[in-house]
Amino acid sequence: MTSLFNTETTVKTFQNPQAYLDSYNVSAGVQKFLARQHELFIGNVWKPASDGGTVPVIEPATGQQVSTLANATVGDLEEAVSAARSAFESGEWATQTPLARERMIHRLADLIEENFHELATLESIDVGKPLSEAEMDIQGTIDTYRYFAGWATKITGRSGEPAGLEGNYVAYTRKEPVGVIGVIVPWNFPLQTLAWKLGAALAVGCTTVVKPPEVTSLTTLRFAELALEAGIPAGVINILTGKGSTVGAALASHKGIDKVTFTGSTKTGMSVGHAALENMTRMTLELGGKSAVLVFDDCDLDKAVEEVAFGIFFNAGQICDAGSRLYVQDSIYDEFMDKLVANARSWKLGVGLDPETMIGPLVSDAQYRSVTAMIKTGVEEGATLLCGGPIDDGITNYVAPSIFGDCTNKMTVVREEIFGPVLVAQRFSTQEEALALANDSEYGLAATIYSQSLNRVHQLSKSLKAGSVYVNAQSSIDPAMPFGGYKKSGFGRDLGAEQLDYVTETKTVWITLP
Ligand code: NAD
C-alpha cells in the first residue's frame, strides 16, 4: 500500500505561540487582544458567560492555546434574542432612516479598513491561513459591507394591476425586514462569511444574534468592538461565542427568531433546517460541496493547470466551492496531470504569518484527522496517490497538496467532501460523459469548465446542476453576484440583489376604491 505520510516535506515548527508571534513581529495591540479572556457581546455590553464557562482558542501554527473565549449558555442566548427583539421592534434601530443605516454600514466598513492589517493578522493566526489570503478575506469583507450599504436606500416594493379581478383597486407590495435573524458561521472564512450574512440583514433593518465558529471567533469579536465604535445601536448585533452543539442548536430552534441563516456542513445544516422548520422559521442554508472541474482538450492548458491548483489548494482546500473533483479529457490527461502534480509540489507549506507560505496548516487537529482518514480511504479503495499526503511530525496539522489519479465516481473520496487540499481526478472522453460525471453527485455548489469553445461553454453552463458555474477560472466571487447551492449544497442565496429577498418579507396591500 502507498504510504500515506509525506516524508519529503518538513515544516518549521515553534516552541509555543509566543515564540511564533515574536518571530513575525506581531504588534503589541494584536498580542494584547489575544491575551484577553474574551466575553460575549449582548446589547452592546461585554459580559462573561452566565456560568463563567470558557473555550480555549488553539492556534493552528503551534497547536497550543493562544486565547480564550466565553462559552455562551442557553440563558445567555435568551438575553441576546431579547436584546435583538427589542432593537428590532422598538429600539433605536427600528426608527433609523435607510440613509442613516447606509451611513452606519459605511462607517463600519471604514473602521474595518482602518484596522485592516490587525484584522488580517488575527484571521491568519486564528485560521492558520497565509496572511496574503487573510488580506483577501478582509478586503472581501469591506467590499461586502459597502455593496449592501448601497442597498439600504433602494429597498422598494412594486405597484401592480389585477390580471383578472374585476373592480377598481390600487395594489402594491412592501418589502419589510424579516425581523431577528440567527446567524451561524463556519470556521474557514469567518469574518467574510459574517459579512455575507450581516451586510444584507443590516441594510434592510433586521437585527441579529450571531454564533461564530468555536475554533475561529477572534475577528468576529474584534468586529463587535468596531460595530460599537461605528455607533450601531444596542441589540442590532449580538455575538455569542461557544459550542455549536449547545448555543448553535438552541439558536436554530429558538421561537424568538424569525429567520436562521446558516453556513456550514450539510450534516449540521440539515439539523438546523429541521429545528427551524418546527417553528416555521425562515432559513438560508449554505452547505457543503464537491464541485466538479471539467478540463477539455481545447483549453489553455497551462492556465487551466494554475487555476485548478489554486481552486483546491487555496486556504488548504478548506473552501466550500473548492474544485475538488477533476475530470480531464483523455487526449490531454497525461500531460495535464504531469503539470498539475509538478504545480502541487511547488506549493510551499508553512505558518500563516511567513510571507513565503502558500499553504498553511489545517485549522485544527480534528480537521487533520478527518482529512488524513479520507486520504487513507482513497488509498484503500484503489485510487493512486500521485503526490502529497499528510505530514506526520506529531506536532503540526499540515497536509501537503494531494492528488489522487485513477478515481471513479463510486469511490468515497469522489462522493464525499474532504475539506482539505485533496483533489480526485479521472478521465473522460466526450462532453456528454463529462456532464454525466459532473452531475453524478449529491452536491451542487459549483462547477468549472475549461474550454475555448463558446458552444460547449453555453451548453454545459445550462446543464450543470450547480449554483455557480465558473468558466476558465476558479471561484470568482463578488458581493454583487449571488452564491448558493443546488441539491444538498443548500438553498437560498447569499450576496447579490437576490439575497435581499431572503432577509425581507413581501406584503401585498389591496385598496378597493369605490
Ligand atoms: P459545521 O457544520 O461543523 O459548523 C458550522 C457552524 O455551525 C459552526 O458555527 C458550529 O459551531 C455550528 N454548529 C455545530 N453544530 C451545530 C448544531 N447542532 N446546531 C447549530 N449550529 C451548530 O461546519 P464547519 O466544519 O464549521 O465548516 C465546514 C463546512 O462548511 C463544510 O462542509 C463547508 O463546505 C461548509 N461551508 C459552506 C459554505 C457555503 O457557502 N456553501 C461556505 C463555507 C463553508
Is 433 annotated in the active site?
no
C-alpha cell at 368: 487533520
> Does residue 39 have its Cβ closer than 6 Å to ligand 1?
no
Q: What is the pTM of this model?
A: 0.97
Q: Note the helical H segments in 363-469.
A: 365-380, 412-415, 431-439, 454-463
Q: Which atom of ligand 1 is nearest to the CA of 214?
A: 11
User: Which residue's CA is the closest to the ligand 1 atom numbered 23?
Assistant: 264
Q: Which entry of 133, 286, 307, 417 is annotated as an active-site residue?
A: 286
> Does residue 244 have its Cβ closer than 6 Å to ligand 1?
yes
> Does residue 347 have its Cβ closer than 6 Å to ligand 1?
no
Ligand 1 midpoint to CA 214 (Å): 10
pLDDT (tens place) for every residue of the chain, 514 residues total: 557 888 778 888 888 899 999 999 999 999 999 999 999 999 999 999 999 999 999 999 999 999 999 999 999 999 999 999 999 998 788 889 999 999 999 999 999 999 999 999 999 999 999 999 999 999 999 999 999 999 999 999 999 999 999 999 999 999 999 999 999 999 999 999 999 999 999 999 999 999 999 999 999 999 999 999 999 999 999 999 999 999 999 999 999 999 999 999 999 999 999 999 999 999 999 999 999 999 999 999 999 999 999 999 999 999 999 999 999 999 999 999 999 999 999 999 999 999 999 999 999 999 999 999 999 999 999 999 999 999 988 778 999 999 999 999 999 999 999 999 999 999 999 999 999 999 999 999 999 999 999 999 999 999 999 999 999 999 899 999 999 999 999 999 999 999 999 999 999 999 999 9
| Candidate from 137, 263, 267 with most ligand 1 atoms within 8 A of CB, to mutate | 263
What CA–CA distance (Å, rounded) separates 360 from 399?
Answer: 9
User: Which residue's CA is the closest to the ligand 1 atom numbered 16?
Assistant: 244
Of the candidates 384, 394, 398, the one whose C-alpha atom is nearest the C-alpha of residue 427 is 384
Phi, psi of 499 (to 5 degrees): -65, -25
> Does residue 190 have its Cβ closer than 6 Å to ligand 1?
no
Ligand 1 midpoint to CA 260 (Å): 13
Ligand 1 midpoint to CA 448 (Å): 24
Q: Which DSSP letter does residue 81 get?
A: H
Residue 284's contacts (CB-CB under 8 Å, 6 or more residues apart) are 259, 260, 261, 262, 484, 490, 491, 492, 493, 494, 502
> Does residue 249 have its Cβ closer than 6 Å to ligand 1?
yes
Ligand 1 midpoint to CA 296 (Å): 33
Residue 479 and residue 495 in contact, taking contact as beta carbons nearer than 8 Å: yes
Q: Which DSSP letter does residue 248 get?
A: I
> Does residue 272 have its Cβ closer than 6 Å to ligand 1?
yes
For residue 474, give Cα distances in angstroms to 145, 322, 465, 469.
23, 8, 17, 9
Could you confirm whether domain 39-46+73-287+493-502 is CATH 3.30.930.10? no
What CA–CA distance (Å, rounded) separates 469 from 321?
Answer: 10
What pLDDT score does 6 carry? Answer: 82
> Does residue 443 have its Cβ closer than 6 Å to ligand 1?
no
> Does residue 187 have its Cβ closer than 6 Å to ligand 1?
yes
> Does residue 218 have its Cβ closer than 6 Å to ligand 1?
no
Q: Which atom of ligand 1 is nearest to the CA of 483?
A: 40
| Candidate from 191, 314, 320 with most ligand 1 atoms within 8 A of CB, to mutate | 320
The single residue listed with the C-alpha cell 443590516 is 202
Partnered with residue 180 across adjacent β-strands are 207
Is 206 annotated in the active site?
no
Q: Which atom of ligand 1 is nearest to the CA of 196?
A: 40
Question: For the residues of 214-225, what is the DSSP string, one character each?
Answer: TTS-HHHHHHHH
Residue 374 and residue 412 in contact, taking contact as beta carbons nearer than 8 Å: yes
The fold of 292-479 is Aldehyde Dehydrogenase; Chain A, domain 2 (3.40.309)
Q: Which atom of ligand 1 is nearest to the CA of 186?
A: 26
Domains of the chain, by residue range, sit at 39-46+73-287+493-502, 292-479
Q: Which DSSP letter does residue 402 get?
A: E
User: Which residue's CA is the closest to the ligand 1 atom numbered 32?
Assistant: 265
| Candidate from 265, 283, 314 with most ligand 1 atoms within 8 A of CB, to mutate | 265
